[in-house]
Amino acid sequence: MKNIYILFSLLVFLVCTSCEDQLNLIPAQSLPTSESLADLDGMETAVNGAYD
C-alpha cells in the first residue's frame, strides 16, 4: 500500500511539473500593444472590437 502512495505521488508531481511550458504560450493571432495601437487604423480596430 505504501508503494502505491509513493507511485501516485510521483505521478502527480510529474504531471504538474510537465505542463509549465504550455501555460505560457502567446496566441498566434494576437499583436503586441505597441504595434496594434501605433496608428489610427489600429486604434479604430481596437475601439470597434471593444463594442462587438
Pick the residue with more confidence: 25 or 49?
49
pLDDT (0 to 100) of residue 52 = 67
In total, how many domains does the chain have?
A: 1
For 24-41, write each residue's pLDDT tens digit: 677 777 777 777 788 888
pLDDT (0 to 100) of residue 51 = 83
- Cell reading at 4: 502505491
State pTM to two decimals. 0.38
State the Cα–Cα distance between residues 39 and 13, nearest whole angstrom.
Answer: 47
Q: Which domain holds residue 38?
A: 1-51
pLDDT (0 to 100) of residue 11 = 92
